[in-house]
Structure 1
């Protein structure tokens, strides 16, 4: 038995946990690369437009912002039978975020002014269980809307479904499905960048979804405890590791896109510095 085979056998019992942990590690790495890309785009903006240059990043991500707000609105519309009603939708408009105190007065922000890119306002009955559920699902809706759109754009770009890892035993990794048009790579990576940049719910979204998320977390912990008690937890972990492997691959794809855009931005910045 060679050394590589022996190492693989030693790792095998921990493989599901390593795959699950890879989601967290790759997600953190994606945050780092995306933050570095924004820093480079901001620098390009300062060279070209001065103080208004920071707006370039937001205008680049306009399609992602629109999807973010439409995801909020779609969930509100789904909860129309429970008394939810959309009162206004702003898909994209860059403006300073208005911060209010507990009694509704506008507060002055002495630090760096944050910007609001879009907004969905709605009304719903107070104090009902389904109101909290609707608030929670609406708050985290951009996460699901962004994932669905990312999967769709990945298929447009490569011809592969996101859950089909394109590894060929003879030729290795295939970027495009055979006979798939290459010109889809001209626009799809940009749209993937914008969608995933605005995929994560904002702080205000998480605040509105806090009670739903607390209840969901408690429910998940109870289910895991029940599965452990009935000795079915191992099967769930195996299934979770299978799903996590696809998530890991998706995150690797996003990081690869970020690296390509980072190289382009870095070359642009160096050109402007000369």
Structure 2
């Protein structure tokens, strides 16, 4: 038995937990690479346009902002039979806004400019359970809308579904499906970048969804406790590991894409400096 096989056998009992932890590690790595990419874009913008160049990052991500707001709006429309109604919608408009706390009081931002890129305003019945459910789903809607669009764009770019790891019979990596047009890689990576940059709900979104998230997390904890008590937790762990492995693959794709854009941005930044 060779050394590689021994290592694989030793890791096997811990593989499900390593796969689950990989989601968190890769997510944090993605956040770091995306922040680094934004700093490079801000630097390029500052060298080219001065203070106005700080807005380049937001203009680059305009398609993602639009999808973000449309995701909010789509959920509100789904709850129209329960009394929800959109009063105004702004898909993309960079404007200054005043940061406020949950009680409406102005919050000092330490000199940093707070910007609003889009907005969906709506009214709904007060004091009803369905209103909190609608608020919560609308708040986290960009997660689902952005993920669905990412999967669609990945298929456009490569011909593979996001949940299919593109390996051939000899375990060799295949970027594109055989006979798939290569020119999709010209625009799809940029759209993937902008969609995933605006996929995460804003702080205001999380605030609106807080009661729904508290209820959802409570139900999940109770369900996990029941599964543990009935000795069915192992089946859930197996399913969770399978889903986590696909999420890991998606996050690896995004990190690699970020590194590619980081190289381009770094070379561009060096060019504008000189």
Pick the TM interval, shorter chain.
over 0.9
Q: Aligned partners of 2:163 and 2:103: how far apart in 1?
A: 48
Partner of 1:246: 246
Counterpart in the other structure of 2:273: 273
| Deviates further, 81-90 or 103-112 | 103-112
Q: Which moved more, 1:245-254 or 1:167-176?
A: 167-176
Find the aligned partners of 1:271 and 1:241 in 2 and give their Cα distance: 45
Aligned to 2:92: 92
Give yes or no for contact 2:38–2:57 (8 Å, CA) kept in 1: yes
CA distance in 1, matches of 2:170, 2:4: 20
1:175: which partner in 2? 175
Is 2:200 the counterpart of 1:231? no
Separation of aligned partners in 1, 2:217 and 2:107: 33
Distance (Å, rounded) in 1 between the aligned partners of 2:156 and 2:233: 37
Aligned-partner Cα distance in 1 for 2:76–2:192:
25
Matched residue, 1:142: 142
Kindly report which structure 2 residues correspond to 1:193-272, keeping only aligned pairs within 5 A, or say none: 193-272=193-272
Shift in Å, 1:168: 1.4
Structure 1 CA distance, aligned partners of 2:101 and 2:176?
Answer: 52
- Note the 1:19-30 alignment, pairs <5 A: 19-30=19-30
- Give the drift of 1:108: 6.2
Structure 2: where are the runs of 5+ without partners?
none
Q: Does 1:166 align with 2:166?
A: yes
Taking structure 2 as the reference length, what is the TM-score of the superposition?
0.97
SS of residue paired to 1:99: coil
Let me know the Cα RMSD of the aligned residues: 1.3
What stretches of structure 1 of length at least 5 have no aligned partner? none
Distance 2:85 2:52 in 1: 36
Alignment of 1:121-136 (within 5 A): 121-136=121-136
Distance 1:133 1:164 in 2: 33
Counterpart CA distance in 2 for 1:15 and 1:7 is 12
- For 2:3 and 2:110, how far apart are their aligned partners in 1? 60
